[in-house]
C-alpha cells in the first residue's frame, strides 16, 4: 500500500485556498476525498475479497470531514456494504450529502441520543470496520460532552 501523505491544518487550509482560486469547489474536494476514502477502505484486508455484506459503522461530524465521510459511506453502500452512520453532531436541516447517503441505503442514526448511543455500542460489537469522520482540520478546541463520552 502506498504511504499516506500528511499535511498540517495550516497546509490544508492553504491547499483549499489555492484550489478555490483555481476554480475547484469545496464540493469537488469533498467528493474526491470521499471517493478516495471509499476506494482505500475497499482495498483494506478486512474488506477483501469482496465488500458485499461487510458491516461498516461511520461516526460523522457536522463539517466538511463529516461530508467526506457521508460520500464514502454512500459509495460503500452502493458497492454492497451494510453501512450505519451515527451523526455525532447536528448537521444542517438541508443536507444533500446525508440525503444521498440515505437514498443509497445507508442507515442514519442520531448518535447523540440515548437510543443512538445504545445502538452504537451494540453495532460496534459486530462491525467489520469503523470510519472516523467526526473532526477535520478545522477542529481547534477540546472535544466537549456528550461527544467526548461517545468517542
Q: What is the CATH number of the domain that holds 86?
A: 3.40.50.10260
Helix H or strand E segment including 108: strand 107-110
- 124-147 pLDDT, tens digit each: 999 999 999 998 877 777 777 777
Q: In what order do the strands lie in the sheet with 82-87?
A: 107-110, 82-87, 55-60, 129-133
Q: What is the pLDDT of residue 125?
A: 93
User: Which three cell numbers mark 121?
Assistant: 455500542
Residue 90 CA, distance from chain mean position: 14
Q: Is residue 79 part of a domain?
A: yes
pLDDT tens column, 94-133: 999 999 999 999 999 998 888 888 888 899 999 999 999 9
| C-beta of residue 84 within 8 angstroms of C-beta of residue 57 | yes
Is the residue at 126 inside a domain? yes
Residues 78 and 61: their CA atoms lie apart, in Å, by: 22
Per the structure, the complete domain to which residue 66 belongs is given by 50-136+144-151
Instruction: Point out which residues pair with 99 in neighbouring strands.
Output: none
**Does residue 98 lie in a domain region?**
yes
In whole angstroms, how far apart are CA 132 and each of 16, 35, 79?
Answer: 21, 15, 20
Q: Is 32 contained in some domain?
A: no
Residue 1: the pLDDT is 57
In the chain, how many domains are there?
1
| Gap between the Cα atoms of 147 and 134, Å rounded | 10
41 found inside a domain: no
Q: Indicate whether 29 belongs to any domain.
A: no
Q: Is the pLDDT of residue 22 over 60?
A: yes
Give the pLDDT of residue 117.
83
Amino acid at each position: 500500500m502506498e504511504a499516506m501523505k500528511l499535511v498540517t491544518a495550516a497546509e490544508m487550509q492553504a491547499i483549499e485556498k489555492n484550489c478555490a482560486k483555481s476554480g475547484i469547489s469545496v464540493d469537488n474536494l469533498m467528493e474526491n476525498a470521499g471517493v478516495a476514502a471509499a476506494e482505500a477502505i475497499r482495498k483494506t484486508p478486512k474488506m477483501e475479497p469482496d465488500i458485499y455484506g461487510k458491516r461498516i459503522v461511520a461516526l460523522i461530524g457536522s463539517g466538511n470531514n463529516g461530508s467526506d465521510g457521508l460520500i464514502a459511506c454512500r459509495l460503500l453502500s452502493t458497492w454492497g456494504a451494510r453501512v450505519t452512520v451515527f451523526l455525532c453532531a447536528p448537521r444542517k436541516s438541508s443536507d444533500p450529502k446525508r440525503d444521498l447517503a440515505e437514498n443509497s441505503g445507508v442507515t442514519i442514526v442520531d448518535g447523540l441520543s440515548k437510543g443512538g448511543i445504545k445502538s452504537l455500542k451494540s453495532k460496534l460489537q459486530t462491525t467489520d470496520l469503523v470510519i472516523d469522520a467526526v473532526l477535520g482540520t478545522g477542529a481547534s478546541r477540546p472535544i466537549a460532552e456528550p461527544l467526548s463520552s461517545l468517542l
